[in-house]
Structure 1
């Protein structure tokens, strides 16, 4: 196993000392400090330009767990694909786990994508497929490679994977009778980069501490990406970078996949998107793809789509059902545009706030009623803070009111400003007032409490958004009303544009060690009347399922991946 690239702090350390963000309603407000360049820490160098690296197009995909949506029908796929496309996502990476129901769902997916100019590619999950037998993967690919919606890159059908080291991609290409563009997730190593038949590599390294036995109190850096880029550059191969908003899983042993831990996520979404821009500026010929992890994995709280439901017997529903993450997509659009244009900063064309917060203070105790019976590993590093991303075209004041306590911060220019506000028990409301006129107001659908939410430890977050009056909202409908009959059930139990970007003149600022950042310093404090309206929509639900390892189609599966499928540490083969 490679060494961990992130600095961990003892679990006894004060979070306020570690991250410098407010830990409760009695804490002082965040004041951004040092100024850094957007490209700081990125190794800029010349890389060889080859025939496989001259394509200037870039694409953003979202990882879609096909095995989680066995109850989806055609309208459900139409809805999800229309929503993703409206937010700037080019396509889905279809994670297939070998269930018999995958075939029907893939048919729905390609039908929907072909009518909406959306792209799809298949990503076999080698937790369930054999990495020594290329036959089943070949059979999985064959029916879909000629579909009009199948993503082609450099004239080849694009294929990725989750794990799969050792699979013979050359043989798979021969089996399907077409040259493939193969960009799988393998651990970064020279052997992985040199694998015959590979055109690039994809990294799943997107949460601090995911390969460590200890909680890591530091945000992501680009160091893991640089490992891949350094290996791939001499070979002229591409890189698909990961980005994810959150990680929390709380599944009891009865599911067969006991996972009970939280990885640092407080400001991960905005920090990681800025890092994506740093990477594309430093490595424009290699960073061709971004994959959002994930579209719909509610079992790990990494989804950016509305919650669509899950089996009630896995202990997941209690900490997922009420927690819509879809507003995070309203925050990523400017970053996607900048990525595709190869620019270092997002251009903001509308004034908007996006907020996220946990439902309970982290010291809440409920061992006696909790489905797992104990707090998740890593709970100490979660900040008792409410987070707001202010997307502004100019100076603005952002106010968060919890109960009777209001806290305000000022941002002084255009940019995406990620702010932390002190958290305490009470109803939560938000307001942003733009200098020169215009106000956004919103209210969280869930009150913060000092008791466990529904008797369960919950380190998931509710995400919401509000647009400033007079801003131009998206012209694409994002209706996410469910069309699934939620009374239907499944029997199996399991676990599971481009645009030209103008130079932003304001300075890029960041808080030391936190990743809480903005393009202009936040300062000052004031009290604003409590907003009374809400913009966060209620979550949708649909019945679905996911496959257990015991029902995998082959017994010779990939090396066990502990942090993703049951434990804390990734085990080496």
Structure 2
């Protein structure tokens, strides 16, 4: 999403949101396990982490099953607010985790990696001061983490063609298999007349033969952000897009149109579709595969591109872009989403990570580079590259059908650093809409080469779990001013990870719902 379109997208997302509240399971320690070879293990022993008591009405549910809202409303803003309070409570048994295989492993037979591709959405509009060297650094980093291509989100800014040229030149200079393709931002480009099609066609024509242009089925891969209302002067949206990206061109067109998926069958121009909003839950419930399924069922013999995203928070006041809300990033959103994609990989052709560098919406996973869209207040000091190795882990499983072997102990931690219900002392922008959808937890993913005791700690809350080899999800309630740490103990050897700056503060100055992310070496 680009700067001059933020409000447009916010409205699109809010209009399509489902505001029904799904009761969530509150567990003392919820652990979904994968062994190094991808086999399903049993839930961890009970009674290890303090129970959270901020949702007395919550009831256990199957975390692997689809959740259907009990009602609908005009959008997420209509959800009523409540004031959650978190307390450690007493040690309680952990409810059983059923149907665990649906979110933690895959039995699909391994396939060549070329049959599945992983992209990252790269907003060119945030690269004004990039050099070819900056692009090269991004490409090398992304490629090293299992990302196959950047989707270059481009718009009408006069300087963007120069940055597109830099990106392609950087990829060529690296002699890399890494690819690039266009994701035309149709909240930026005009698209009412036939003349508006010329610039899009020129972009495609200029890079069709470039060695780093992504080809799929020997066709130039093309995508969009929005564009569902574009006619380019034709009688219909479908005809307009056909004239623009298909006529006289050998393209594979997979746009992100914000429409009812049931209408996809009426589009002859589409070779597939991208479910942009599939990367986040649209209400106060866990991520599911439901939206993906609605796309897939309406794309027979066409491709489906799913989204994967770790977070969403934007905090612009009425004096700027006037968008101030969150989507629910709780319950290890990044891991849960990827596990669903791995489990359903036979139905998903591509995954696009949203995003590499959308700082304004806090779902960036790349370095904080380029020109920020007035988001410094909630982005600076909140590096997200710690998520990249998790993405690499899941991307490998998505491509091959098998989770990679864990070769060293790793701990991945992330959290919002103040209570969701806290009142900021000096912020001219209000608490974000949907703030009550998130809870005060430290989220952890631990990867172990062998069994160990793992301790999560922050001030008065500290608990230890006996964790087997493999990948395990843990969480710890955050209730008081404290600094976060984790410890892996195996015999007499103890390794503590205490990320600098990861401190929970119960009296925030501003409403920064961005995630603080840290990964051990």
1:386 aligned partner: 442
Q: TM-score, normalised by structure 1?
A: 0.70
What is the deviation of 1:346? 5.3
2:310 aligned partner: 245
Contact 2:139 2:171 in 1 (8 A): yes
Q: Deviations over 1:269-309 (max 9, x none)?
A: 010010111111xxx2x421100000000100111112226
Aligned residue for 1:142, secondary structure, equals helix
Aligned residue for 2:186, secondary structure, equals coil
Aligned residue for 2:249, secondary structure, equals coil
Indicate the RMSD between aligned Cα atoms, in angstroms.
3.2
Whether 2:253 is the aligned partner of 1:182: answer yes
Whether 2:359 is the aligned partner of 1:298: answer yes
What is the deviation of 1:159? 0.4
- Among 393, 400, 413, which residue is 1:334 paired with? 393
1:541 aligned partner: none
Matches within 5 A, 1:57-456: 57-114=115-172, 115=174, 116-133=176-193, 134-165=197-228, 166=237, 168-173=240-245, 177-186=248-257, 187-210=259-282, 216-233=283-300, 236-255=301-320, 257-266=321-330, 267-280=332-345, 284=346, 286-308=347-369, 310=371, 314=374, 316-343=375-402, 345=403, 347-366=405-424, 369-372=426-429, 374-403=430-459, 405-414=461-470, 416-423=471-478, 424-434=480-490, 439=495, 441-452=497-508, 455-456=509-510
What is the deviation of 1:195? 1.0
Query: Which whole-Å CA distance do the structure 2 matches of 1:270 and 1:16 have between them?
Result: 26
- Among 69, 73, 96, which residue is 1:33 paired with? 96
Q: 1:244 to 1:329 in 2, by over 3 A?
A: same
Give the count of matched residue pairs.
Answer: 437
Contact 2:455 2:488 in 1 (8 A): yes
Relative contact order (C-alpha < 8 Å, sep 6+): which is higher?
1
What is the deviation of 1:40? 7.6
Contact 1:354 1:464 in 2 (8 A): yes
Unaligned runs of 5+ in 1: 45-53, 211-215, 468-573
Unaligned runs of 5+ in 2: 1-11, 25-52, 64-83, 229-236
Q: 1:194 to 1:27 in 2, by over 3 A?
A: farther
Q: 1:430 to 1:101 in 2, by over 3 A?
A: same
Q: 1:436 to 1:200 in 2, by over 3 A?
A: farther
Query: Which whole-Å CA distance do the structure 2 matches of 1:18 and 1:435 have between them?
Result: 38
Query: Which whole-Å CA distance do the structure 2 matches of 1:402 and 1:198 have between them?
Result: 50
Query: Which whole-Å CA distance do the structure 1 matches of 2:184 and 2:495 have between them?
Result: 46
* Structure having the larger proportion of residues in helix: 2
Q: 1:428 to 1:247 in 2, by over 3 A?
A: same
Q: Deviations over 1:413-450 (max 9, x none)?
A: 42x21211121312222222346967352324232111
Contact 1:242 1:292 in 2 (8 A): yes
2:79 aligned partner: none
2:512 aligned partner: 458
What is the deviation of 1:348? 2.8
Contact 2:414 2:517 in 1 (8 A): yes
Contact 1:264 1:382 in 2 (8 A): yes
Contact 2:154 2:183 in 1 (8 A): yes
What is the deviation of 1:158? 0.3
Contact 2:129 2:370 in 1 (8 A): no
What is the deviation of 1:155? 0.5
What is the deviation of 1:310? 4.2
